[in-house]
Chain A
């Protein structure tokens, strides 16, 4: 994305008139280009609904509704970077969501135990995905598709196909202490850090999503492990020859993806005030879509967490803008599909270069 910038700047001195001007703004456009889809949607939001759209509560709600899927998208991005795919994240999140609700409802466990345990559970499933993919050499598509089915089946068996509520009342009819604190994981209207993080506190799903993005952005951009992930996805043979333990990297990314799904589970349960045996169904598609809209290549080696974050924002803010404008539900589906295609085309890193190339011969004709 960024390499288009110097390229364009180098040539911008040539040519004259409108073309020069056009070419001068191209680099400026280039720096914004990877966010153009998001800018587009925010612009539509402000144009149609102004203050309602920009209202802090509205934005918090919109991001909060997508937070669990956004967290899944971060895990999926790691896997996609190694040229793999993780289709199991929706089911793993569903399992973790059910597990968290049952830990709360059946065992009255406190949040600080539930969340790490769910992360461990998710990581264990992810570890199996990683071992299946790298040691047993099962294609990740097949391995994680199988895991999607296995985890969903276990979820349904464990829950006996019944939803489990998270607003658990004690004998006095009031919420139990643990149920009360579980609400802070995402039940609407329950913020964390009131007084510490601003007067109203912050909605935990939003905080968790942004936190996960920052942590994994740093891991990918600042650590050896992060460089290894890109190397494995870019060229596994070269990575192996340069001494990278490819097997270990692959196992690690699947384990991390599973762990993040486990982390998202309790958030989803708290948001829905209930864990449903079907929870997280098809969330893997939203997660993959967020990563790919954000510029991740399914061929591996290309993609960033910032991109995935932007992709997730595009999906959820688009949904929000359409909802605020009361667009009919049938047309919402059509418009969502179209906007995603337009956003991805506009964000293509080679788009500006191809425009520039078209402009160049035109200039020669002018001179002649």
Chain B
């Protein structure tokens, strides 16, 4: 019964996709023919991508975008994405598999920096160009690092908090898993932005472990404690939305609290929609880097030089630009 709903939906999607394909085939057939004919200059390069964990909505979105953007480059063929399921050992062996298969370009989103470092060095020694996506490794032996700037995001969120509290006020911070690097940067940036604004105080801080129900529970406990909170800064959108639902459920006590999140995923359940619905006053796009990764892979395959470190800017998402940003990053119509 449960498989049924999605099946019916994907059936409709499949029909639509087939129609689209039939249309596209007319245009695409020409290029396919020429590559099949063995045009020597136009070799197709295989790209292997090792993903830390498919089951996080952010990473699921990254995968979709990468598949979409990789298709835009004729010289790239993206192999099926390897999912490490948050397991370092599994990811190391998946990277080694790609090395064995002699992929032309390797993209890695490390689950954790240290355990993946030797595997990346192995790839580097096998003369495979490596793109590190999103999380860092502890070696220089790669071609390019692409990632967002969590410190900058935290800082912009802090500046937004200052703007949202012109008369000062109290802030509650719901932090990601304390041991993770994005958490540390998002916290540090935020605190730095508050420096010099003595009338704004962070009165509560808890670890929400990136999880939505934790955000709800923590907000309820803060309200029970009777702490006066004017604004909640959560290190990701799910925790912010979870906290918002707790405040909304608490009636008058939680009525005027403002919420800021991070991620800005263009999915129906994501932060951009939450901004449009007025649950959050703003969220900060944490760029997936998929577009840049595909471009860099194509350049590497063509033997071009690429930039060693590509830091991606965030975008502040408010009610004004939410719809445009959603359309720009929405993948539901672009890949199935």
Q: How far is the CB of A137 from chain B (nearest CB, A)?
A: 29
Assembled-state Cα–Cα distance A156/B238 (Å): 18
Does B88 sit at the interface, judged by CB under 8 A?
no
Are A320 and B221 closer than 8 Å at their CB atoms? yes
Assembled-state Cα–Cα distance A271/B242 (Å): 9
Closest beta carbon of chain A to B237's beta carbon, Å: 10
Task: Establish whether residues A95 and B267, one from each chain, have CB atoms under 8 Å apart when the complex forms.
Answer: no
B192 in the interface (beta carbon within 8 A): no
Among residues of B, the one whose C-beta sits closest to the C-beta of A160 is: B60
Residues of chain B within 8 A (CB-CB) of A117 are 1
- The answer to whether the Cβ of B204 comes within 8 Å of any Cβ in the partner chain is yes
A57 contacts across to B, CB distance below 8 A: 224, 250
Write the nearest CB–CB distance from A210 to chain B, whole angstroms.
19
* 8 A Cβ contacts from B143-193 to A: 178
A273 with B242: CB separation less than 8 A: yes
A161 close to B54 (CB less than 8 A): yes
| Residues in A neighbouring B268, C-beta threshold 8 A | 105, 164-165
Closest CB-CB distance, A113 to chain B, in whole Å?
11
Residue on A nearest B63 in the bound complex, by CB: A161
Contact of A188 among B1, B57, B224, B250 (CB under 8 A): B250
CB neighbours (8 Å) of B55 from chain A are 156, 161, 277-278
- Known A-B contacts A58-B224, A106-B5, A278-B56; the reply to A163 vs B248 at CB < 8 A is no
Inter-chain contacts of A165 with B (CB < 8 A): 268-269, 273
* Contact bitstring A156-183, B, C-beta under 8 A = 1, else 0: 1011111111010100000000000000
B241 at the interface (CB under 8 A from A): yes
Chain B, 43-102, CB within 8 A of any chain A CB: 54-57, 59-61, 63
Across the interface, do A95 and B2 meet the contact criterion of CB distance under 8 Å?
yes
Tell me, rounded to whole Å, the shortest Cβ–Cβ distance linking B214 to chain A. Answer: 9
Question: A284 interface residue, CB < 8 Å from B?
Answer: no
- Tell whether, in the assembled complex, residue B54 and residue A189 are in contact, meaning their CB atoms are under 8 Å apart: no
Binds B, one of A8-16, A128-136, A322-330: A322-330
Instruction: Collect the chain B residues with CB atoms within 8 Å of residue A273's CB.
Output: 212, 241-242, 245
Residue from the list A95, A99, A188, A329 in contact with B206, Cβ < 8 A: A329
Q: How far is the CA of A163 from the CA of B9 in the complex (A)?
A: 16
Q: A65-B213, A121-B1, A190-B249 are in contact. Are A164 and B220 (CB under 8 A)?
A: no
* 0/1 string, B290-308, CB within 8 A of A gives 1: 0000000000000000000
Is A344 interfacial (CB 8 A cutoff)? no
Whether a CB of chain A sits under 8 angstroms from the CB of B20 is: no
C-alpha gap A121/B216 in the complex (Å): 27
The complex places the Cα of A129 from the Cα of B238 at a distance, in Å, of: 33
CB distance from A233 to the nearest CB of B (A): 32
- Chain B nearest CB from A121 CB (Å) reads 6
Contact of A326 among B5, B57, B59, B204 (CB under 8 A): B204
Contact in complex: A161, B269 (CB < 8 Å): no
A99 and B2 contact, CB distance less than 8 A? yes
- Given A156-B55, A276-B212, CB of A103 within 8 Å of CB of B224: no
A156 with B54: in contact, given A190-B249, A329-B178 (CB under 8 Å)?
A: yes
Chain A contacts for B245, CB-based, 8 A: 187-189, 273
B245 (CB) vs chain A CBs: closest residue = A273
A278–B60 Cα gap in the complex (Å)?
A: 12
Q: Which residues of A contact B217 (CB under 8 A)?
A: 61, 65, 319, 323
Chain B interface: which size bin? 35 or more
A188 touches B269 (CB 8 A): no
> In the assembled complex, how far is the CB of residue B312 from the closest CB belonging to chain A, in whole angstroms?
22
Total count of chain A residues near the partner, CB < 8 A: 48
- CB <8 Å contact, B224 and A161: no
The answer to whether A189 touches B248, judged by C-beta atoms less than 8 angstroms apart, is yes
Given the contacts A55-B224, A187-B249, A324-B221, A272 and B213 also touching, CB distance less than 8 Å: yes
Q: Are B251 and A189 in contact (CB under 8 A)?
A: yes
A102 proximal to B (CB < 8 A): yes
B267 with A163: CB separation less than 8 A = yes
Q: Given A189-B248, A324-B224, A271–B54 Cβ distance below 8 Å?
A: no
Query: Which residue among B56, B60, B207, B217 has the maximum number of chain A CB atoms within 10 Å of its CB?
Result: B217
B37: Cβ under 8 A from any A Cβ: no
User: Which residues of chain B come closer than 8 Å to A188, judged between CB atoms?
Assistant: 216, 220, 245-246, 248-250
Residues of chain B from 1 to 43 with CB closer than 8 A to chain A in the complex: 1-3, 5-6, 9
> Contact string, B227-255, partner A, CB cutoff 8 A, digits 1/0?
00000000000100110011011110000
Best-surrounded residue of A319, A320, A329 (most CB of chain B within 10 A): A329
A52 within 8 A of partner (CB)? yes
B225 near A276 (CB under 8 angstroms)? no
Chain A 73-109 interface mask (CB, 8 Å, partner B; 1/0): 0000000000000000000000100010011011100
Q: Considering the chains assembled together, what is the distance between the CA atoms of A154 and B1 in angstroms?
A: 13
Chain A residues near B116 (CB, 8 Å)? none
A161 near B60: Cβ-Cβ < 8 Å? yes
Tell me the A186-204 residues at the B interface (CB within 8 Å): 187-190
- Whether the pair B242, A162 counts as a contact (CB closer than 8 A) is no
Given A162-B269, A278-B56, also A102-B2 (CB < 8 A):
yes
Nearest residue (CB) in A for B2 is: A99
- Taking the closest CB of chain B, its distance from the CB of A153, in whole angstroms, is 10
Roughly how many angstroms separate A216 CA and B55 CA in the complex, as a whole number?
Answer: 35
Q: Is B196 close to A, CB under 8 A?
A: no
Asked whether B218 is an interface residue with its Cβ less than 8 Å from the other chain, the reply is yes
Nearest first, the 7 closest Cβ-Cβ pairs linking A and B are A189-B249, A188-B249, A161-B60, A165-B269, A329-B207, A323-B221, A99-B2
Excluding A159-B6, A163-B267, A163-B269, 9 further A-B contacts by CB distance (< 8 Å) are: A105-B268, A120-B1, A162-B60, A188-B220, A272-B212, A276-B212, A277-B60, A326-B204, A326-B225
Q: Could you name 25 residue pairs across A and B whose Cβ atoms are closer than 8 Å?
A: A58-B224, A106-B5, A106-B6, A156-B54, A158-B6, A160-B6, A161-B54, A161-B55, A161-B60, A162-B57, A162-B267, A163-B238, A163-B267, A165-B268, A165-B273, A169-B277, A188-B220, A188-B249, A188-B250, A189-B249, A189-B251, A271-B213, A272-B212, A276-B212, A320-B221
